[in-house]
Each structure stands twice: as structure tokens, then as C-alpha cells.
Structure 1
Amino acid sequence: MKEIPMTVKRSIELLGLFLVGALLVLGSNIIMPLIMAFFISIVLLPPYRFFRKKRFPNVLAILLPILIMLTVVAAIGWFFSAQAARLIADFPQIQKNVSLHLNSLSRWIDQISHFSPTEQIKFVNEQSAKLLNYAAALLGGAAGSVSSAFIFMGLLPIYVFLMLNYKNLLLRFIFMWFPAEQHDKVEEVLSESESIIKSYLIGLLIQVTYMTVFLGGILLLFGIKHALLIGVLFALLNLIPYIGALIGNILGVLLTLSSSQSLTPVLIVLCTIAFVQFLDNNILMPRIVGSKVRINALGAIVGVLVGGAIAGISGMFLSLPVIAVIKIIFDRSEMFKPWGVLLGDENPNESPMRKRMLRSKSDLVREKLEAENDIETTDKSEEVQERKDP
């Protein structure tokens, strides 16, 4: 049989990736709840297995972890509502502080430029009118967005329940999709994907907890108003890689400015966030999540932006675990292995232009680069045993 030319293979690859992207864009309202439910069901597998070992009925063993998850979500919602009530109660003082800061800014602009206060007010009014028009356009689809969000949240527990209930059926379907000689590789991909998803998402839950307590606690010690709200907002926004931390910093500064007439609290907030982020990025998070699969910064940022364009905030949040699973699949597929290299962080110390060995798809080369970049490998026997149901 005549071998397919390389150009045709590459064209098929690109066409396949384009079709997958188009499918995600067109069917994001259906696909995103399924992906989110899949990741949540992976996280709930350990408590589900624990209840099954204790001889709980299958339905009860599924419902109990889901109820625990809903309780945690309800507690977070209650905390936000309590903090929002405090913020609303301080609104007159916030309005006064904002006016003070705007007047100071106006005087500073007047000193360094030719814009008089009258021209500044005119400029602000023009921009405000544009902003209001833009906001009106956004609010036009707000009802649809809110209803979509409620449908999304309502479907999640149902999807999680059904995925845990039919997990053996889904696994059978996956294995039947591939020939028998590839089943070992499929089992390896499933085991490693489960390990990565669990370590990443459970690590994020731990991260949100300690960042809220740590950041909020330090700001409370300094007497910053709305310290806990700043802490939890930054911790939740930090779940969105790269972009979330920037938005969290901006919101923290705005909340502090609106609650204080001095700039000193703003400096305290910025320095505290920088300190907590340094500890989180360099000490705490690597130990919690580990480094079994690392995505390079370029791939992560592009993935976050693409995820946001496809499915908004949920797409940005899910981008890294999805890319990690895709990389695991690509690394074990001969056709898509170059794409796995493109997403990964196995950065060679030498140029492939000079060292020909680095041009190879060999697993030995990949393992060597993983060792050079301090990327852990998965203990396959343990993962396979852990995945087996009681």
C-alpha cells in the first residue's frame, strides 16, 4: 500500500485541529458543561471510592461527594453576599473617597499637561457616554447570559452524577474505540490524565484556601478595609492563569482606593500581593501540584486566550488542565507528537540545528529532556492500581 505523503499528513492534522476548534466554538454551550463535569467527577473519584469501600450503595456513594461539593459552593456564595453587603453599607464613604482621588488626579494632570479641569470633565463625559453605550449593548444580552449561567450550573451536578454512575460504560467505549494492541497505551493515557487532573484541581482548591487566609489575614493585620474580600477575589481570579492575577491586582487596588483617602494602603496591598504571589509561585504551588506535566508559558497564555474566546471565564479556567490532557495524548501519538513538544516545557539546552538527536521523536530523548527540566514521571503501576474500582 502506498504511503501517504508527509504534506498530506500535515494537512490532515491541521484540518483536524481546525475542525475541533470550530466544534468547540459552535457547541461551547453543550461541550463546556460536559468538560467541567468530567473534571469535577475526576476530583470526586477518591471520596466516591472511599464510600464504595465502606459498602455504601452506588447512588449514595455518588450523591454524598456531590452534596459536599454543593455545600462548599454555597458557603463561598454566602461569604460573597456577606462581603458585598458590607461594601454596600460603606457606599457613602466610598463615593466621598472616589471624589477625593479624582480631584487629586485632575490637579496632577493639570500640572503636567495643558488639559484644564474643564477639558478634563468634557473628556470624561464623552468617554462615559461611550462606555454607557457599550454597557447597554452588553446588557442587551445579559438576560441570555444569566439564563445560560443558571442552565450551566444546573446541569453540572446532573452531568457529574451520570458520569460517575456510567464511568465503566464510558471506559468500555474508549477501549473499544482502539485496537487491542493499543490498549496498554490507552490505559497509560487514562491513568496519567486522572493523576494530572486530580493533582491540578485539588491543588487549586488548596491554593484558593491558603491564599484567602494568608493574603486576607496579612491585610487584616495592617488594618486594610475589605481585606477578606480582596483576599478571596484575588485567590479566585488567580485560578485563571496569568490574566487572573493581573485583574486581581487591579481590583485590589480599586477596592483599597475607594475605601481609603491615603495611598499608603494601596502600597501595602500591592506589596502584600507580590509577597504572597512569590511564595505561591516558587514554594507552595510547585509542592502541592507537582511537576508531572508542565506547559510552557507561551502555550499557556495562548491557551488561556483561546479558552476565553471560546467559552469565557469557564474556558479560561479549564484551559490548563485541558491542554495538559491534550499534551499527554499527543506525547503518545506518533502523528501528533510534534504538537506535544510544542505545548511542553521540555526545553533543550542545545539547538537542534547543531545536535541532530534533538530532532528525533524518540521517547528516550523526551525522557532525557524531562530529566533536564526537572519534570517528574508518573509511577504507572501505582496509577493503574489506584484507578481500579473496589
Structure 2
Amino acid sequence: MERQNYDSVVKFFVSVIGIIFILAVLKELQALFIPFVIAYFLFFIFHPVNVYFEKKKIPQAVTIICDVILMALIIWGLSRLVFGSVFQINQELPLYITKINHIVSNAAISFGVKDKAYTDFQIDQLFLMINVSSIAGGFLNTTLSFITTVGLVLFFFIFISSGHDKIYEALKNRFEEKDLQKQEENPTEVFNIKDTFNHIIHQVQKYILTKFLISLVTGTIIGFVLYMFNVKFFFIWALLTVILNFIPNFGSIIAVLFPALMSLIQFDSFGYTLLILGIMIVIQNIIGNILEPKIFGSSLGINPIVILISLIVWGYIWGIVGMFLSVPLTAILKITLSGTKSPNLRLIRDLMSN
């Protein structure tokens, strides 16, 4: 009994060390793993269309080329929209700087602040304290990193699309050989790696598509509200809402702050801005807390606390990209654990379940 307890403790600590090591490797080599994971998710998204083309006897190479061209067009279109809006904001920047100075100075006077740094606030002075060369260097590095990541995503996508079936067959053969005797003894207990793969693909597709449609509805409604209130760059704020809503819990909070700040700068009215902010918060709450749970139902079945923890963990490992991927990655882990026979892994699966 004592020997058995000792072995259990050793296995536990070895498992913990192994998990920490894997997370450290994922963080250290994130420049490679992030594009790889994104490419695999894109493969899941394009999988139904690719299967349809395959049934129509269209060559796989042609299908992959069409997928890559479509992704490149989407990236190009979004980049044009973003850079066009940034250019427009940059043209009106002097006006916004003047308004920010006025807002901060008035707020300081209203709250009885005597410090000249606030009552005579000049944001230009802050710019003088900023190392422009380091910002320019950081922007250049970010741009190059983005281009490199996009290139790696497309590169990995091509190889994943052409080699996924071979990976699946290799894993299937490996586990079938390992469990062959067990299956012969109990024919009803067939190996379910095919079901696991299909379940993962289906769940990822369902989550991304459903989340995209919900985010699109949210962004469209908020964009319309901002348009009705004459808030500038309403299309960009709507697009930002669609994107940020993929980040659980915190994304919707961040999404309403940017248009609210734009409203404050544009109209110089706290009351008007609070009205717009209040409407956006109501929209986010109705869709996020009432509509979205009803649509998703128990399909994911992940405990909200686990979602929050995964958001923190993946955010620490892969930054903002990890936050976007936290829910589907957690869902994949839960699905993978669903077929395990290990009591410890079953416990983890049950703790993850809602």
C-alpha cells in the first residue's frame, strides 16, 4: 500500500513537471506554435468545403490554392479597411489633440484640481517625453512579425491540408495496434479516435461559426447605434466589436470603451457619451448573457470558471492571440479527455464540464 501511494505521488509530480515543461515550450516557441494552431483552426473551418470539393473529384491542389487565395483576399481587404481608417484618424489627429487637452483641463477644473499640469493640460508635452524612435522601431517590428506570422500560417495551412489525413491514419493505426487485444476481448469497446477527430472538427467549426454570427450581429447593431448618434468611424468600431467579442468576458468590455472614448473626444459631452456607452453595454449584455447561452446551449459544456482560467493561462502563454484561441483550445482538450479511461484524467474532464 505504501509503495502504491509513493508511485501515485511520483506520477502526480512527474505529470505536473511535464505540463509545466510543455507550457514553457509553447511560450518559448510561440512564433512557430501560434501560426501552426491558427492554420489548423483554418483547416477546420475550410474542411466542409474541401470535403465537398473532394466528392466532386476536384484535385486537392486546386482546392488548397482556392483556400489560400480566399484567405489572402480576406486579409488584404481587412488590411485596406484598417489602414484606411488609421490614415483618416491621423489626418484629424491635431483636432483630436486639441479636444483632449480641452476635456482634461475642464475635468480637472470641475474636480477642483489645482495642479497646472492638469488645468493647463497639453498632450503635446507627453509626446515630447516619448521616445519616438523606439515607437517607430516597435511598429516596424510588429509589422514584420505580422507579415511573418501570416506567411507561416499560409505555409502551415498548405501542409496541414495535404497531410492531415495521413496524420489521422498514423494515429489511428498506432492506437488500434495498442488496443487490438482489448477490442477483441470486448468488441463493443471499439477505438473511437475517428469519432474524437470528427467531434473536434465539428465542435471547432460550430463554435467559430456561431461565435462569428453572434459577434457579427452584435457589431452590426452597435455600428448602427453609433451611426445614428453620428459617432465617427462607426464601421471600424463595429469591426472591432466583432473581433474583440471572440475574447471571453473581457472582449466585450474593451469593445465598448473605444467608441465611447471617440464619442467623448468628438462631442466633448460626458452625458452624451454615457448615453451611448449605456446603450452599447445593454446590447452586449442582452446578446452575451441571454441570447448567446441559448444559442450555444450545452454544446461546449465548459465550466465558466475553466473558461476564465484558460483565458488567463493562454493569454499568459500566447498573449492576445492566446485569449482568442482559449475557448476552442479548451474545448479540444475536453473532447480529447472524454474518451479516457484514466480516473485522474476523467476527474479533470468532469471538473472542466459545466
| TM-score normalised by length of structure 2 | 0.85
- Find the aligned partners of 2:96 and 2:289 in 1 and give their Cα distance: 36
For residue 198 of structure 1, the aligned residue among 191, 205, 222 is 205
Is 1:48 equivalent to 2:85 in the alignment? no
Deviations 1:6-38 (A, max 9, x none): 222322321221121122112211111111111
In structure 2, what is the equivalent of residue 164 of structure 1? 161
Deviations 1:229-286 (A, max 9, x none): 2221122112111222222222222121121122233123212221221232244434
Contact 1:212 1:231 in 2 (8 A): yes
In structure 2, what is the equivalent of residue 237 of structure 1? 244
- Find the aligned partners of 2:150 and 2:133 in 1 and give their Cα distance: 26
In structure 2, what is the equivalent of residue 364 of structure 1? none
Post-superposition offset of 1:211: 2.3
Contact 2:226 2:234 in 1 (8 A): yes
Post-superposition offset of 1:288: 4.8
In structure 2, what is the equivalent of residue 9 of structure 1? 11
Post-superposition offset of 1:322: 0.6
- Find the aligned partners of 2:152 and 2:323 in 1 and give their Cα distance: 19
- Find the aligned partners of 2:192 and 2:44 in 1 and give their Cα distance: 20
- Find the aligned partners of 2:128 and 2:295 in 1 and give their Cα distance: 46
Contact 2:108 2:119 in 1 (8 A): no
Counterpart amino acid of residue 340 in structure 1? R
Deviations 1:135-168 (A, max 9, x none): 8767665544432221111111121121111121
For residue 271 of structure 2, the aligned residue among 254, 257, 264 is 264
Partner secondary structure for residue 166 of structure 1: helix
CA distance change for structure 1 residues 140 and 294 in 2, over 3 Å: closer, same or farther? Answer: farther
Q: Please give the residue correspondences for 1:66-77 in structure 2 after superposition, counting only pairs within 5 Å.
A: 66-77=68-79
Contact 1:238 1:244 in 2 (8 A): yes
- Find the aligned partners of 1:119 and 1:58 in 2 and give their Cα distance: 65
Post-superposition offset of 1:299: 1.9
Post-superposition offset of 1:287: 5.1
Is 1:215 equivalent to 2:213 in the alignment? no
Is 1:25 equivalent to 2:22 in the alignment? no
- Find the aligned partners of 1:212 and 1:79 in 2 and give their Cα distance: 16
For structure 2, the 5+ residue unaligned runs are 184-189
% identity of equivalent residues: 20
In structure 1, what is the equivalent of residue 187 of structure 2? none
Deviations 1:287-322 (A, max 9, x none): 554532232232222222222221222111111111
In structure 2, what is the equivalent of residue 359 of structure 1? none
For residue 301 of structure 1, the aligned residue among 298, 305, 308 is 308
| TM-score normalised by length of structure 1 | 0.77
Contact 2:311 2:327 in 1 (8 A): yes
In structure 2, what is the equivalent of residue 337 of structure 1? 346
In structure 2, what is the equivalent of residue 132 of structure 1? 130
Counterpart amino acid of residue 116 in structure 1? K
For residue 328 of structure 1, the aligned residue among 321, 331, 335 is 335
- Find the aligned partners of 1:123 and 1:228 in 2 and give their Cα distance: 31
Q: Which moved more, 1:196-205 or 1:62-71?
A: 62-71
Post-superposition offset of 1:62: 2.1
In structure 1, what is the equivalent of residue 172 of structure 2? 175
In structure 1, what is the equivalent of residue 114 of structure 2? 116
Counterpart amino acid of residue 341 in structure 1? D
Counterpart amino acid of residue 69 in structure 2? L
Contact 1:47 1:65 in 2 (8 A): no
State the aligned residue count. Answer: 338
- Find the aligned partners of 1:63 and 1:98 in 2 and give their Cα distance: 48
Post-superposition offset of 1:123: 10
Partner secondary structure for residue 336 of structure 1: helix
Partner secondary structure for residue 298 of structure 2: coil
- Find the aligned partners of 1:287 and 1:80 in 2 and give their Cα distance: 33
- Find the aligned partners of 1:272 and 1:123 in 2 and give their Cα distance: 31
For structure 1, the 5+ residue unaligned runs are 346-390
Post-superposition offset of 1:67: 2.3
Counterpart amino acid of residue 245 in structure 1? S
CA distance change for structure 1 residues 44 and 240 in 2, over 3 Å: closer, same or farther? Answer: same
Post-superposition offset of 1:174: 1.9
In structure 2, what is the equivalent of residue 382 of structure 1? none
Is 1:152 equivalent to 2:149 in the alignment? yes
Counterpart amino acid of residue 265 in structure 2? S
Partner secondary structure for residue 302 of structure 2: coil
Q: Which moved more, 1:265-274 or 1:317-326?
A: 265-274
